[in-house]
């Protein structure tokens, strides 16, 4: 009799979405329609405006092709963490090194960073297997001070969460939403508030008074902030705040490791922003704990689900996919979004819809936060390792010394030196990749190209929740930085279309290109925001007449793209109103951040100074936050990025009014319908801009100077076009 081992229960399953077949059929139809349109354009090239639309439509067609790569294999996954223990015993769970990046105590309040750290330390996971590394690029004693306090509070907070099975393990989120009386929660709240007050008062004052320093350890730590210490030029500071083997929580259970690291900064060496910080963390953690799993977290992205590591393990523990599994990406989700999501800060397409489409191919892009990496994936491809010279940095190295021992601390300082990476392949072949302000996109791309796969998992309850920009200026600035980073990849050797398609296949190449080529959308958006409108003012018809069959083609292309986009959006649990705002913000980005990102990228290439990584502010102004919650656009600052928005708003208004007048006078409605429709669309989309320019009185209105400049430009354009002979 033969015995067979029963098959182990599934840890995860994956399936294609039901809409896949429809998607594919529609893609084919739409592609044919695009070909017909190109044919139509080629026959009409002699018309004066056709070349504009030809260029615009070619770019739109290209972008549509890239979007289609997400629609051919849209995938969804399920995990079964309840089966985990049959495959992997708790004592065999892999260790995890968690990196939390922060860069500025005034834009990223230390109390928020502490909250993120506490939520992650409190994971429902063996604490002795967790090490949290806080990377402080701000080199701030205020942040370190906050973490000394956090380490004390953690000894109470962790057992409280564990014993009461708390789900919101970020203290701030817990106290905000839980009125249920957990045993002891009132006392803990008092302790939390006390810590918060202490930290915030120190941050408000901007310096640390002797009265706040209570132990010898702390005194010694803060001595490192001497007179020479500045944010851009200072020695390495590594402070072990909690050591798992040594420290116990108030119930006697082990604590996770908690380590503060501010890498050495020296103006003579490039620090490569976040990617540089993360590479330092990779090395420092290698000599201290060297866990096989690395979780990267932005300082504002707190854990919203203590079971996330178990869900991640459902993939990691599956031997059949392990050999080339590089990372598991959870989507970036946000808290505090207003109901209509006016700035489309949720980036539903980028963070939720598109990754699901790539998951059916070789896996999603890395988006910078909420991503569990297999450490080995930073050191060459699955079958072509690229290892650092120092043996103790290899991913299989086993650390045998306690993290506070001299040897370990000495090597940690050594690898955090600002010139450590000189003449090495860190940032080019190893670790997080340099050369792009969108280090996340760049790193994921290169990992995929070297043969790694990734997995996208989108649980119902968001695994992480982050802050989002609540002013239009911040939102556009963030987008502008991304564009610079994306263009840096497009114009590098790792272009997703050429290099990417060669190593990942054409569909993955197109998926990556969809994001990378965002900024070129600026061209069709500018053309369609100005040319048909100006022609309308001049009474020139540029689109097919309503009665012609070409009009049906135009209508199909316009409606087809928008209805499908809207369906994708609504099926991903969005609302129609959110989709509406999302399409509007795409136009806004096209007219502002995409263009300005392109300009700054070009200047950077020409060697003219650039701002580098401009950290998004996470500080909330009460007035602004009130307006944001009411769904009111926040302009306020006189940014040149607002000028095209104002100009387009006025040109569309003028065109729409003149169009109506012409029709009333018995003009050519049949020939001008398309243009009337576009001006009307532009007019409706610009509503918040008229409000901000004309009748709002609050601080978030459009600054006068921007209104004046954009009105002048718009009126000049409208007048000039009237001088063009009406052909």
Ligand X SMILES: O=c1ccn([C@@H]2O[C@H](COP(=O)(O)OP(=O)(O)O[C@H]3O[C@H](CO)[C@@H](O)[C@H](O)[C@H]3O)[C@@H](O)[C@H]2O)c(=O)[nH]1
User: Residue numbers of the site for Mn ion (CB under 5 A)?
Assistant: 298, 616
**Nearest distance from C-beta of residue 717 to ligand X, angstroms:** 33
H helices, E strands: number in the chain: 27, 14
> Which one of the spans 99-107, 144-152, 249-257, 387-395 is the region binding ligand X (CB under 6 A)?
99-107
Q: Which of 440, 474, 568, 582 is catalytic?
A: 440
The dihedral formed by the CA atoms of 472, 478, 484 and 485, expressed in degrees to the nearest 10:
-160
| Candidate list 529, 616, 647, 685; residue touching ligand X; CB under 6 A | 616
**Nearest distance from C-beta of residue 296 to ligand X, angstroms:** 7
Q: Is 398 exposed, middle or buried (0-12, 13-18, 19+ CB in 10 A)?
A: exposed
**Nearest distance from C-beta of residue 616 to Mn ion, angstroms:** 5
312, 328 contact by CB (below 8 A): yes
153, 118 contact by CB (below 8 A): yes
| Candidate list 37, 95, 103, 650; residue touching ligand X; CB under 6 A | 103
Work out whether strand 130-136 and strand 257-262 pair parallel, antiparallel, or are unpaired. Answer: parallel
Residue 701 labeled ligand binder? no
Q: Which of 136, 137, 168, 359 is catalytic?
A: 137
Bridge partners, residue 248, by sequence: 254
The dihedral formed by the CA atoms of 372, 374, 379 and 383, expressed in degrees to the nearest 10:
-130
Q: Which lies closer to ligand X via its Cβ, residue 271 or residue 362?
A: 271
Residue 163 labeled ligand binder? no
C-alpha distance across the termini of the chain, in Å: 92
Cα–Cα distance list, 98 to 214, 217, 261, 365 (Å) = 28, 24, 13, 19
* Phi-psi category of residue 636: left, alpha or beta, with phi > 0 → left and psi -120 to 50 → alpha: left
| Candidate list 60, 240, 277, 540; residue touching ligand X; CB under 6 A | 277
- Interaction partner, residue 137 (ligand X, Mn ion, none; CB < 5-8 Å by kind): ligand X
Q: Is 589 a binder of ligand X (CB under 6 A)?
A: no
137: annotated active-site residue? yes
Q: Is 438 a binder of ligand X (CB under 6 A)?
A: yes
The residue ranges of DSSP E strands in 421-477, in sequence order, are: 453-456, 464-465
Residue 611 labeled ligand binder? no
Q: Is 481 a binder of ligand X (CB under 6 A)?
A: yes
Window 104 to 123, contacts with ligand X (CB under 6 A): 108
The residue ranges of DSSP E strands in 542-687, in sequence order, are: none
**Nearest distance from C-beta of residue 479 to ligand X, angstroms:** 8
Q: Is 373 a binder of ligand X (CB under 6 A)?
A: no
440: annotated active-site residue? yes
- Interaction partner, residue 482 (ligand X, Mn ion, none; CB < 5-8 Å by kind): ligand X
Q: Is 368 a binder of ligand X (CB under 6 A)?
A: yes
Q: Which lies closer to ligand X via its Cβ, residue 127 or residue 139?
A: 139
Q: Phi then psi for 326, rounded to 5 degrees?
A: -90, -45
Q: Is 478 a binder of ligand X (CB under 6 A)?
A: yes
Q: Which lies closer to ligand X via its Cβ, residue 140 or residue 369?
A: 369
**Nearest distance from C-beta of residue 468 to ligand X, angstroms:** 8
Secondary structure (DSSP) of 591-632: HTHHHHHHHHHHHHHTT-------PPP----HHHHHHHHTT-
CA angle 369, 371, 374 (to 5 degrees): 140
Q: Catalogue the active-site residues.
A: 137, 440
Name the site residues for ligand X (rule: CB under 6 A): 101-103, 108, 135, 137, 273-274, 277, 298-299, 332, 368-369, 437-440, 478, 481-482, 485, 613, 615-616
Q: List residues forming the annotated binding site for UDP-alpha-D-glucose.
A: 107-108, 137
């Amino acid at each position: 009799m033969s015995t067979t081992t029963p098959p182990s229960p599934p840890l995860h399953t994956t399936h294609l979405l039901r809409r896949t077949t429809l998607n594919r059929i529609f893609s084919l139809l739409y592609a044919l329609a695009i070909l017909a349109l190109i044919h139509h354009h080629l026959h009409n090239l002699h018309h004066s405006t056709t070349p504009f639309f030809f260029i615009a439509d070619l770019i739109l067609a290209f972008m549509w092709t890239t979007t289609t790569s997400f629609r051919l294999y849209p995938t969804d996954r399920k995990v079964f963490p309840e089966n985990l223990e049959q495959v992997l015993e708790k004592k065999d769970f892999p260790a995890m090194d968690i990196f939390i990046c922060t860069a500025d105590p005034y834009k990223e309040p230390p109390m928020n960073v502490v909250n993120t750290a506490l939520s992650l330390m409190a994971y429902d996971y063996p604490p002795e297997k967790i090490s949290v590394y806080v990377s402080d690029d701000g080199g701030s004693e205020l942040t370190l001070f906050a973490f000394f306090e956090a380490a004390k509070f953690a000894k109470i907070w962790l057992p409280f969460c564990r014993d009461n099975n708390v789900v919101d393990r970020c203290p701030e989120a817990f106290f905000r939403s839980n009125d249920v009386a957990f045993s002891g929660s009132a006392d803990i709240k008092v302790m939390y508030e006390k810590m918060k007050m202490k930290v915030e008062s120190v941050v408000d004052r901007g310096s640390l008074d002797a009265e706040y320093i209570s132990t010898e350890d702390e005194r010694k730590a803060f001595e490192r902030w001497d007179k020479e210490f500045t944010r851009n030029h200072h020695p390495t500071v590594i402070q072990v705040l909690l050591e798992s083997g040594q420290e116990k929580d108030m119930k006697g259970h082990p604590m996770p490791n908690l380590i503060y690291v501010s890498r050495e900064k020296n103006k003579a060496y490039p620090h490569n922003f976040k990617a540089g910080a993360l590479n330092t963390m990779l090395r420092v953690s290698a000599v201290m704990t060297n866990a096989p799993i690395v979780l990267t977290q932005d300082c504002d992205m707190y854990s919203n689900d203590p079971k996330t590591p178990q869900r991640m393990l459902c993939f990691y523990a599956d031997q059949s996919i392990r050999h080339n599994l590089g990372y598991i990406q959870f989507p970036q989700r946000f808290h505090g979004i207003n109901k209509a999501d006016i700035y489309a800060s949720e980036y539903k397409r980028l963070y939720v819809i598109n990754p699901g489409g790539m998951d059916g191919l070789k896996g999603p892009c890395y988006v910078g936060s909420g991503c569990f990496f297999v450490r080995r994936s930073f050191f060459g491809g699955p079958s072509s390792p690229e290892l650092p010279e120092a043996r103790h940095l290899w991913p299989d190295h086993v650390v045998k010394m306690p993290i506070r021992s001299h040897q370990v601390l000495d090597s940690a300082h050594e690898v955090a030196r600002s010139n450590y990476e000189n003449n090495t392949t860190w940032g080019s072949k190893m670790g997080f990749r340099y050369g792009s302000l969108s280090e996340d996109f760049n790193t994921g791309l290169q990992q995929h190209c070297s043969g790694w796969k990734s997995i996208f998992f989108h649980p119902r309850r968001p695994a992480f929740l982050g802050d989002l920009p609540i002013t239009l200026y911040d939102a556009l600035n963030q987008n502008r930085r991304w564009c610079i980073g994306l263009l840096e990849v497009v114009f590098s050797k790792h272009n997703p279309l050429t290099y990417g398609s060669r190593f990942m296949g054409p569909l993955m190449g197109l998926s990556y290109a969809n994001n990378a080529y965002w900024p070129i959308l600026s061209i069709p958006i500018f053309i369609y925001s100005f040319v048909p409108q100006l022609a309308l003012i001049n009474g020139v018809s540029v689109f097919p007449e309503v009665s012609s069959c070409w009009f049906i083609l135009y209508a199909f292309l316009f409606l087809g793209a928008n209805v499908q986009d809207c369906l994708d959006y609504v099926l991903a649990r969005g609302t129609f109103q959110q989709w509406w705002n999302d399409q509007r913000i795409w136009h806004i980005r096209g007219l502002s951040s995409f263009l300005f990102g392109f300009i700054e990228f070009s200047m950077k290439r020409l060697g003219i100074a650039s701002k580098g990584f401009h950290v998004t502010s996470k500080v909330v102004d009460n007035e602004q936050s009130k307006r944001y919650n009411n769904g009111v656009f926040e302009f306020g600052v006189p940014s040149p990025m607002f000028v095209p928005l104002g100009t387009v708003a006025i040109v569309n208004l003028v065109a729409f009014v003149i169009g109506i007048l012409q029709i009333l006078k018995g003009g050519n409605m049949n020939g001008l319908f398309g243009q009337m429709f576009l001006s009307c669309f532009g007019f409706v989309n610009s509503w918040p801009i008229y409000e901000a320019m004309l009748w709002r009185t609050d601080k978030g209105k459009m600054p006068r100077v921007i209104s004046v400049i954009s009105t002048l430009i718009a009126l000049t354009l409208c007048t000039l076009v009237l001088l063009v002979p009406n052909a």
